[in-house]
A and B are shown apart, each in its own frame.
Chain A
Amino acid sequence: MEILELTATALAEQVRSKQLSAVEVARAYLARIAELDPILHAYITVDADGALEAARAIDARLARGEDVGALAGVPIALKDIFVTRGLRTTCGSRILADWVPPYEGMPSARLRAAGAVVLGKANMDEFAMGSSNENSAFGACRNPWDIERVPGGSSGGSAAAVAARLCLGALGTDTGGSIRQPAALCGAVGIKPTYGRVSRYGVIAFASSLDQVGPLARTTEDAAALLEVIAGHDPLDATSLPQPVGRYREACRRGVRGLRIGVPAEYFAAGLDPEIEGAVRAAIDELVGQGAELVEISLPHTKYAIATYYLLCTAEASSNLARYDGVRFGMRAARPQDLGDLYSRTRHDGFGPEVKRRIILGTFALSAGYYDAYYAKGQRVRTLIRQDFSQAFERCDAIVVPTSPITAFKLGERLDDPLQMYLADIYTISCNLAGLPGLSLPCGFSSQGLPIGLQVLGRPLGEEQVFAVAGAYEQAHDWHRRVPEVRR
């Protein structure tokens, strides 16, 4: 089991120095997947052949003395929202169940170029819509700490795979918290970088103005290493940022002495599990103990974040999902009567209930006569939320809050109550509306043995401060070293 315990940075070092072969590593992880994934269902597609082939190629290049990159041999999982050429990409939906993409997306291409080995495609809520992974058309993924519970959503498969050692790192996407919330619920580290920091080219769109790609890993330094590889300007994504990529790994060891840590009262309100509040407050004390300065701040528009988010994300989703019409790719209804029948039956059969609910909401929010009352107003509130943060960041360098108000809940527990489910993202959504970087890392366990997440938010392009805070906290604890014992 020694291979499985190495961090990504340590493992890449061993592969590069030929102490370990990439094939050996891939085999170890594939064996673990074969053993545990039937229980966890963290993967939709496991690409054992592709992974071994990629690993062999890396070993061959190393044998020729070539440089194979910073992530040489690191086995990773890609949320099944990432388009992979020649490898089925479902986005958790029946409508794309058999879709084999004709091209490769940018984040995965950059990982592969850095030597990472793709083990497969991780389970997810359909089209990234959900907070529990129960909306996957391929069946729910389970939380490795308690398989009766959800791993969180929508990157639940990625988080569960990382936590259960079914991969060493993973990519997820975060539209309203979909990297950070499952990271918190599974006890992994996950970061949603600044909007535009990572290319969205080849990432199936849910809500374009909110979606952002980020890594999940076991440690902050591994997350930083993955982010350094996938971040950076991409000419194929007009919203990607031109600024140079920061030195995230180095920032993890920078410490917090002199950093001003903002704590907003609005995030410690009713509905927050007392155990979580206790763990987060203890974490804040720890940071202060290491020399950080505590600053009380206010984010007054926080209470509007969920309503705003669901207006904007459903509006964009209703448009982004229009292309699944049965004409060019994906599922197509058999023997349609006419064009309307082709569209409606394909979409009726192809989409799950949550996706349909959001398409209908979004279509309504954009329709003539309601645009100003809903979408336009949502945009105005979004601006206010953004202003809240920019004012707060005049007084502090990073903000520390809980990631989720609750620990992992039971499968099916919230499935019949979408509004209750939407509240699971209450602490993560504002960050997407404002386009800020946000990281979640383990900061303790509940009395039931479930992970608790600490969230660190930063200024736009303030990833280095975020890593500095997270790294400082992580060094003082060993929560991240705990391994879930997956029991049937």
Chain B
Amino acid sequence: MPWEVVIGLEVHVQLATQSKLFCACSTQFGAPPNSNVCAVCSGQPGVLPVLNEQAIVLALKLALATGGTIRRRSRFARKNYFYPDLPKGYQISQYDEPLAEHGAVEIWHEGQLRSVRLTRIHLEEDAGKNIHLATGAASLVDLNRAGVPLIEVVSEPDLRAPAEAAEYMRTLRGIVRALGICDGNLEQGSLRCDANISLRPWGQQALGTKVEIKNINSFRFVQKALEYEIERQSELLARGQAIQQETRQWSAEVGRTEAMRSKEEAHDYRYFPEPDLPPVEIDERLIESLRVALPELPLQRRQRLMEEGGLSDYDATELTRETELTDYYHLAVAAGGSPKRVANWMLTELLSRVDDARDVARAPVAPAGMAELLGLVESGKVSGKLAKDIWAKMWTSGGSALKIATDGDLFQQSDSAALEQAVRAVVEAHADRVAAYRAGKTKLMGWFVGQVMQATEGKANPKLVNTLLQQLLDG
């Protein structure tokens, strides 16, 4: 029996504030263990939380960008549980009165625009990190992360496929980066997600038994974990077995999900309103000022690239994944590059040279440099092949395309008289192949072109070579 897959994601987004949610400690990543820790975020007796208002502002931006309803008065609650990396024995989070509800994230997946509804966006503090020594001798706790502000973006179960879930997470990342509220560094844990997945017979309204997969920190793993779960669950269902409601975790090493805890041993978090923090009151004027200042979001940019630059779906989607890419594109086009050629060159030659698309902002070749090079190709002064060599030189040693081409004599030979001489020499040197060609082996044309190119060190204009060869051989 084929099953319908129902997926909802809870994405934790680390907010790009300078200081933690309830104290003045730095949020800087990679600091020595327990160096960004004070009495407040280490939960010393007698301390009190004071809300970092910047975090509210950043969270509001996402709520507005996704069309959410903002609560004028929201509230923090305590989520009580014991864990060594949770200094106070409770996490301050929002529970029954979140900052924002509803709204949606539009995703572009497999040529279609889909709207994924959001249940809520709420603020909470991160926990620390436990480090278990390999020897088993001890476990250490690093509280640098404890108290770092997060927002949790909870989607409705609107996703229907693992790839769609991954695209949703990618899109969300694009949005939070465009808004400047999160650096989007998955490898540093700035974006993590919990996925809820259930299977049900097609046409059934009621949801099947849900399994939660905790703490996934890459797009690839979201997809893989969900694919694995679909297979595991459909096999169980095919055998007539029931799905157990439980929490699982993705193990990247073995490529499967593993049970963490079942419903029976699920936590009772004993939520209650945080008495140390007054309710959060949001001023209407703040909302309006943030609303008018919202930047263009990736999906809007994508639309504009398609309309203004005539780019394909694919090119426009890829170029708007990262703000840095879109910015580079716009600058290169503004410097005279043709949109399609710029897009193509960026997605191949530029992205193959950086580890991360975010690095293009610091690429050694500036957008104007790329535009100049592409201009030389466009005008026929430089061949596509030589352009790649010039690009490589620009990348490693700098300098303008024109100067590199001039210094290296890398211009395309388009002087027919000189070329004709080279073509003639090749034809005369291979009488046997000329005969074979004339006898009908026209595929040899490519071989002749290659010979001429070799003789001219790749500088011959291939179009011109083709014409000249045709004249000589067919004539």
Tell whether, in the assembled complex, residue B42 and residue A83 are in contact, meaning their CB atoms are under 8 Å apart: no
From 168 to 214 in chain A, residues with beta carbon under 8 angstroms from any chain B beta carbon are: 200-205, 207-209
Does B51 lie at the interface of the complex (its beta carbon under 8 Å from any beta carbon of A)? yes
A233 to B17, CA, bound (A): 26
Residues of A within 8 A of B80 (CB): 318-319, 322, 366
A316 to B80, CA, bound (A): 11
Determine how close the nearest CB of chain B comes to the CB of A383; give it in whole angstroms. Answer: 13
Select the residue from A323, A328, A367 with max chain B CB neighbours within 10 A: A323
Residues of B within 8 A of A444 (CB): none
Given contact pairs A319-B80, A325-B89, A208 touches B276 in the complex (Cβ within 8 A): yes
Q: B90 touches which one: A105, A319, A367 (CB < 8 A)?
A: A319
Does B321 lie at the interface of the complex (its beta carbon under 8 Å from any beta carbon of A)? no
Residues of B within 8 A of A325 (CB): 82, 84, 89
Tell whether, in the assembled complex, residue B45 and residue A239 are in contact, meaning their CB atoms are under 8 Å apart: no
Does B39 lie at the interface of the complex (its beta carbon under 8 Å from any beta carbon of A)? yes
Q: Tally chain A residues at the interface, Cβ within 8 Å.
A: 44
Tell whether, in the assembled complex, residue A323 and residue B88 are in contact, meaning their CB atoms are under 8 Å apart: yes
Residues of B within 8 A of A82 (CB): 46
Tell whether, in the assembled complex, residue B44 and residue A102 are in contact, meaning their CB atoms are under 8 Å apart: yes
Q: B48 touches which one: A238, A322, A324 (CB < 8 A)?
A: A238
From 272 to 290 in chain A, residues with beta carbon under 8 angstroms from any chain B beta carbon are: none
Q: Mark B319-355, 1 if CB is under 8 A from A, else 0.
A: 0000000000000000000000000000000000000
Determine how close the nearest CB of chain A comes to the CB of B282; give it in whole angstroms. Answer: 16
Tell whether, in the assembled complex, residue B82 and residue A201 are in contact, meaning their CB atoms are under 8 Å apart: no
Select the residue from B39, B88, B278 with max chain A CB neighbours within 10 A: B39
Does A412 lie at the interface of the complex (its beta carbon under 8 Å from any beta carbon of B)? no
From 35 to 49 in chain B, residues with beta carbon under 8 angstroms from any chain A beta carbon are: 39, 42-49
Q: Mark B275-303, 1 if CB is under 8 A from A, else 0.
A: 11110000000000000000000000000
Q: Mark B237-275, 1 if CB is under 8 A from A, else 0.
A: 000000000000000000000000000000010111001
Given contact pairs A208-B276, A238-B278, A367-B268, A322 touches B45 in the complex (Cβ within 8 A): no
Q: A367 touches which one: B46, B270, B278 (CB < 8 A)?
A: B270
Residues of A within 8 A of B78 (CB): 319
Determine how close the nearest CB of chain B comes to the CB of A109; give it in whole angstroms. Answer: 12
Residues of B within 8 A of A44 (CB): none
Tell whether, in the assembled complex, residue A201 and residue B48 are in contact, meaning their CB atoms are under 8 Å apart: yes
Residues of B within 8 A of A322 (CB): 80, 82, 88-90
Residues of A within 8 A of B42 (CB): 328
Does B98 lie at the interface of the complex (its beta carbon under 8 Å from any beta carbon of A)? no
Q: B39 touches which one: A102, A207, A237, A324 (CB < 8 A)?
A: A102
Residues of A within 8 A of B48 (CB): 200-201, 236-239
Residues of A within 8 A of B39 (CB): 101-103
Tell whether, in the assembled complex, residue B45 and residue A238 are in contact, meaning their CB atoms are under 8 Å apart: no
A324 to B43, CA, bound (A): 10
Determine how close the nearest CB of chain B comes to the CB of A382; give it in whole angstroms. Answer: 12
Does B50 lie at the interface of the complex (its beta carbon under 8 Å from any beta carbon of A)? yes
Q: A236 touches which one: B43, B44, B50, B82 (CB < 8 A)?
A: B50
A235 to B40, CA, bound (A): 14
Residues of B within 8 A of A328 (CB): 42-44, 87, 141
A323 to B143, CA, bound (A): 14
A315 to B278, CA, bound (A): 18
Given contact pairs A102-B39, A201-B46, A209-B275, A323 touches B89 in the complex (Cβ within 8 A): yes
Determine how close the nearest CB of chain A comes to the CB of B351; give it in whole angstroms. Answer: 46
Tell whether, in the assembled complex, residue B46 and residue A238 are in contact, meaning their CB atoms are under 8 Å apart: no
Given contact pairs A239-B276, A323-B88, A91 touches B44 in the complex (Cβ within 8 A): no
From 298 to 323 in chain A, residues with beta carbon under 8 angstroms from any chain B beta carbon are: 315-316, 318-319, 321-323
Does A3 lie at the interface of the complex (its beta carbon under 8 Å from any beta carbon of B)? no
Residues of A within 8 A of B275 (CB): 207-209, 239, 316
Tell whether, in the assembled complex, residue A99 and residue B45 are in contact, meaning their CB atoms are under 8 Å apart: yes
Residues of A within 8 A of B82 (CB): 322, 325, 343
Residues of B within 8 A of A203 (CB): 46
Determine how close the nearest CB of chain B comes to the CB of A358; give it in whole angstroms. Answer: 15
From 43 to 92 in chain B, residues with beta carbon under 8 angstroms from any chain A beta carbon are: 43-51, 78, 80, 82, 84, 87-90
Q: B50 touches which one: A238, A327, A343, A368 (CB < 8 A)?
A: A238
Tell whether, in the assembled complex, residue A235 and residue B46 are in contact, meaning their CB atoms are under 8 Å apart: no
Determine how close the nearest CB of chain B comes to the CB of A96; give it in whole angstroms. Answer: 7
Tell whether, in the assembled complex, residue B44 and residue A238 are in contact, meaning their CB atoms are under 8 Å apart: no
**Which residue of chain A has the shortest Cβ distance to B277 in the bound complex?**
A238
Does A440 lie at the interface of the complex (its beta carbon under 8 Å from any beta carbon of B)? no
Residues of B within 8 A of A371 (CB): 270-272
Given contact pairs A83-B46, A105-B46, A202-B46, A327 touches B84 in the complex (Cβ within 8 A): yes
Tell whether, in the assembled complex, residue B90 and residue A96 are in contact, meaning their CB atoms are under 8 Å apart: no
Instruction: Please report A residues at the B interface, Cβ cutoff 8 Å.
Output: 82-83, 89, 91, 96, 99, 101-103, 105, 200-205, 207-209, 235-239, 315-316, 318-319, 321-325, 327-329, 339, 343, 363, 366-368, 371, 375
Sample 24 A-B pairs with CB under 8 A, ordered by A number.
A83-B44, A83-B45, A91-B45, A102-B39, A102-B44, A201-B46, A205-B46, A208-B276, A238-B51, A238-B277, A318-B80, A319-B90, A319-B270, A321-B89, A322-B88, A322-B90, A323-B45, A325-B89, A327-B141, A328-B44, A328-B141, A371-B270, A371-B272, A375-B272
What are the nearest 7 A-B pairs in CB distance?
A322-B89, A209-B275, A366-B270, A208-B275, A83-B46, A204-B45, A202-B46
